[in-house]
Structure 1
Amino acid sequence: MAEGQKPTINDVARISGVSKKTVSRVINKSPLLGEATRKKVEAVIAELGFVPNLQARALAMGRNFLIGLIHDNPNAQMVLGVQEGILDTIRDTEFALVVHPVNRHSPTLADDIRRFIEQQRLYGVMLLPPLSERDDLAELCRDLGCTLVRMGSARLDDDEHLVASNDRQAVSEAVAWLVELGHTRIGFVAGPEGFRSANEREQGFLDGLAAAGLTLDPAIAARGTYRFESGKAAGEKLLSAAEPPTAVFSSNDEMAAGILHAARERGLNVPEDMSIIGFDDTATAAHIWPPLTTVRWPIRTMASTAAAKLIRPASAASEPSFFLSDLIRRASAVPHRS
């Protein structure tokens, strides 16, 4: 190699004593390589100061090294957690993240997504609920030859294209714990219509009540939008019932914070007068007072795994697809006073 000349992938291959394809696999962090070979090639790359030409590689593939996160989700903290999880995986790789919020009610939604994928020449796409629950959008990504992973609260696809959680079971177990604490009049705030996660959590809540021989009184049930304001409105409705609940399960933490606010406005103490459980375990849960008991949804871990499936599709089948949510017990839920 002439002095002052930039090293090429061919130089790396020649000095390492491996093929150009093997060097490409090292650069792409392929799992199909032995550790000894990987370390040898990485040492040569470091010694030569070789920097891959991403533009040339992207041109050869017909794709940019971009992961697209497409969402229409009102829970800002959930979306932030997903972004952090993706960045955990693609950090120190050639990949970058592009976030694309959309309006799921738009009549041009499919065309908007198609245009985004084609203009950005995306390497892969991650769809968040409720968009991930639409098979037509998944098929659109596949038709465009774009690697896809869908996040959900139930099985939506095969393992290579899915990260999902056990929302229904986790909520049922949370309700069972409230019953163990002596609560029998338990209120419920559902998530928005059209979200599979909202339906799974509602079914889990009803499962938990049924297992304890209880039923849900419509007077202490409400539906929200996963936003704080809707939780506050729901809390006001539940607390206006002739017989208010002694405990409430909220389908996410933002709405739980709103319920807590409504209780405080009425001069009630949480958890002494009413216990509250949320879902997600976002930063909100630990930052409000009292700290919120909540079902931890492993958002960041799920998103990190989804990104691994996107950037290493050859090994996607070996990555986990289902993740367990667990109850995080904090100060907002205590035994019933009676």
Structure 2
Amino acid sequence: MTINDVARLAGVSKKTVSRVINNSPLLRAETREKVQKVIADSGFAPDPQARGLAFRRSFLVGMIYDNPSPNYVVNMQQGVLDAVRGAGLELVVHPCNRASDTFLSDVRGFIVRQKLFGVVMPPSVSEDERVIAILKEAECPYVRIASVSLDEPRHMVVTNDSSGAAEAARHLAGLGHRRIAFISGPDSFRSSHERGRGFAEGLAEHGLTLDPAYVRVGAYTFESGVEAARDLLAMADRPTAIFAGNDEMAIGVMKAARDAGLDVPFDLSICGFDDLPMASRVWPNLTTVRLPIRDMGRMAAEKLTASIRGLDAATLTQPEVRPSLVVRDSTAPLQGS
């Protein structure tokens, strides 16, 4: 079957079939339904390469990321796929390393070679203005996911990480903890700073300060959580609660606590951030700040594909995510004094 065959069987022009395939709003409902029925009955599938040539751009959505948490990346991919599959697009991912000497040239090559329909960028690539300059130069549409607004509303999904971290601080302080430690993510991630800022603000509401002696810098990885926690738990006045900047590090803290012979949560309360699937599968179940990562990916991709759905991206509001605390079994009131 070809597009010409579909047009003949539906009694319409080839151009009308093309509009149906590309979800153009410039069609009457009965015409669209008639063509869609012929497509469904015949099993016709449009050639994505031919479509790309016609539009001078491929029907691929790129996801460019530099994130050490594989669970975060998989959840984000699922969200993007939720949106692009219904728009006749495919997802192609480009993992990268922002610290590499070839980072910018690799990103530029990826965008140019693929002739991408558009790009979704989670942190920390979304925070890199050099990448934005490359995308603008290539006239490639993009949507950024970040903890604060960094661009025009049509280019942003904002996650408000600081408000979620403040909830974690209120929870731990409300349980009576005073020696509370914080393991941040890498300095190169804006989310690390936003989560640290929000956590300090939440503690201040309870008359507490975030003591620099109880702060460690991690890498958003399980291993860095283990290492940072071992250092904190070796202190003479060890913390009675630890807030880790993501769930992978928080689970690393759990391992370090068990290795030290401590009971979680009665000897040490632990709180994470993200609410990845693993948070409810470890024991004790992890108290954490829920960030709807899959929804974030879907929101970004829906904004990117607005034109296909007959919407004007410039008129769309800026989606904002509000993190929320999920209290499970890894936190408890301060024991003893």
Task: Report the TM-score when normalising by structure 1.
Answer: 0.90
1:161 — aligned with what? 155
Aligned pairs for 1:27-106 within 5 A: 27-30=21-24, 38-106=32-100
Shift of 1:301: 0.4
Worse-superposed segment, 154-163 or 198-207: 154-163
1:60-93 CA deviation, whole Å, 9 max, x = no partner?
A: 1121111111111111111111111111222355
Contact 2:287/2:327 (8 A) holds in 1: yes
Contact 1:271/1:334 (8 A) holds in 2: yes
SS at match of 1:331: coil
SS at match of 2:145: strand
Q: Distance in 1 between matches of 2:299 and 2:205?
A: 34
> Does residue 279 in structure 1 map to residue 298 in structure 2?
no
Aligned counterpart in structure 2 of residue 330 of structure 1, from 320, 323, 328? 328
Shift of 1:55: 2.2
Q: Distance in 2 between matches of 1:47 and 1:280?
A: 44
1:180 — aligned with what? 174
Shift of 1:36: 5.5
Shift of 1:279: 0.3
Contact 1:167/1:204 (8 A) holds in 2: yes
Q: Distance in 2 between matches of 1:14 and 1:289?
A: 60
Q: Distance in 1 between matches of 2:198 and 2:160?
A: 10
Worse-superposed segment, 311-320 or 207-216: 311-320
Shift of 1:198: 0.3
SS at match of 1:264: helix
Aligned counterpart in structure 2 of residue 123 of structure 1, from 117, 120, 130? 117
SS at match of 1:171: helix
Q: Distance in 1 between matches of 2:71 and 2:29?
A: 38
Q: 1:271 to 1:54 in 2, by over 3 A?
A: same
Shift of 1:288: 1.3
Contact 1:175/1:209 (8 A) holds in 2: yes
1:84-112 CA deviation, whole Å, 9 max, x = no partner?
A: 11112223553221111112112332221
Worse-superposed segment, 309-318 or 55-64: 309-318
Contact 2:6/2:35 (8 A) holds in 1: no
Contact 1:7/1:49 (8 A) holds in 2: no
> Does residue 229 in structure 1 map to residue 195 in structure 2?
no
SS at match of 2:20: helix
Aligned AA (2:240): T
Contact 2:123/2:146 (8 A) holds in 1: yes
2:250 — aligned with what? 256
Sequence identity (%): 47
SS at match of 1:100: strand
Contact 1:246/1:336 (8 A) holds in 2: yes
Aligned AA (2:259): E
Aligned AA (1:334): A
Contact 1:54/1:94 (8 A) holds in 2: no
Shift of 1:155: 0.6
Task: Report the TM-score when normalising by structure 2.
Answer: 0.91
SS at match of 1:271: coil
1:3 — aligned with what? none
Q: Distance in 1 between matches of 2:286 and 2:300?
A: 28
Q: 1:128 to 1:43 in 2, by over 3 A?
A: same
For structure 1, which runs of at least 5 residues remain unmatched after alignment?
Answer: 1-5
Q: 1:96 to 1:206 in 2, by over 3 A?
A: same
Q: Distance in 2 between matches of 1:336 and 1:33?
A: 65
Q: Distance in 2 between matches of 1:210 and 1:160?
A: 35
> Does residue 8 in structure 1 map to residue 3 in structure 2?
yes
Shift of 1:123: 1.3
Q: 1:221 to 1:34 in 2, by over 3 A?
A: farther
Shift of 1:225: 0.5
Q: 1:301 to 1:235 in 2, by over 3 A?
A: same
1:300 — aligned with what? 294
1:286-338 CA deviation, whole Å, 9 max, x = no partner?
A: 12111101111111001012112223346334365211111111110112224
Contact 2:60/2:89 (8 A) holds in 1: yes
1:119-147 CA deviation, whole Å, 9 max, x = no partner?
A: 12211112221111112211211211211
Q: Distance in 1 between matches of 2:157 and 2:26?
A: 23
Q: 1:121 to 1:206 in 2, by over 3 A?
A: same
